[in-house]
A = this chain, B = another copy of it.
């Protein structure tokens, strides 16, 4: 991927080269069949490889890291360049560095995972070399990218249960039903609307607006926003500086 000028023996003994990749998740309305509204599905964009190794196989978007950009900046940039996407949430996932993960060249990939809202996802130019796939039904990808996606999926699903990242799939304001649909899609199971409402309203970060949504053929639901998550107990490294852990 990098180190373009180097013969084989030099490459073999050179230190591993670095690359960034990102697993980007978005939500699509599931295939509604008969009565059942159907759960939403997680989709992610992949890029077709145009040079060896793994020519024509699908792979995670990414690329090298410039000398003057942080890891997070590199993830953002390579994402924008390859898919036109600006994610609402971006977090480091893991550094993958098995020796044999790339055929000849030794590459260590620092992988991020990201969430984009449905509207933004539409902007991603779906061309011959960029395509969206259902996260649960991927083809065989290049490198170890299938495993990486699996791990990112696991991380997303576990983190959704104890944090408040889910709203990043949605716009600035949303109804509790929409938010619940996000949870249901990610977790793959129905959730009791009554209990869900109570749990969410218990969270201090969720704030009710004074607006409601009219037009439905039922009682108009209230719109909510998400407040600053800075108050929450976070890891000791501040978000002010770039490329620091953003877990909680």
Contact = CB atoms under 8 A, between A and B. Distances in A.
A232 B153 CA distance: 18
A106 interface: yes
B97 A110 contact: yes
A160 interface: no
Interface stretch (A8-16, A133-141, A189-197): A8-16
Contact of A71 (B67, B97, B153, B245): B97
A241 interface: yes
Given A67-B16, A151-B235, A244 B96 contact: yes
Nearest to A110: B95
Contacts of A235: 151, 154-155
A11 to B, nearest CB: 8
Give this chain's copy count.
2
B68 A242 contact: no
Given A15-B18, A18-B16, A98-B242, A106 B67 contact: yes
Nearest to A101: B243
A65 B97 contact: yes
Contacts of A95: 71, 92, 95, 110
Interface string A150-165: 1101110000000000
A241 to B, nearest CB: 6
A99 B3 CA distance: 20
Contacts of A243: 96-98
A3 B3 CA distance: 14
Contact of A110 (B2, B14, B106, B108): B108
Given A16-B18, A147-B237, A151-B245, A70 B99 contact: yes
Interface string A100-135: 000000101010000000000000000000000000
B236 A154 contact: yes
A83 B17 CA distance: 27
A108 B153 contact: no
11 contacts: A12-B67, A15-B18, A16-B65, A95-B110, A96-B243, A98-B241, A98-B242, A147-B236, A150-B237, A151-B236, A155-B235
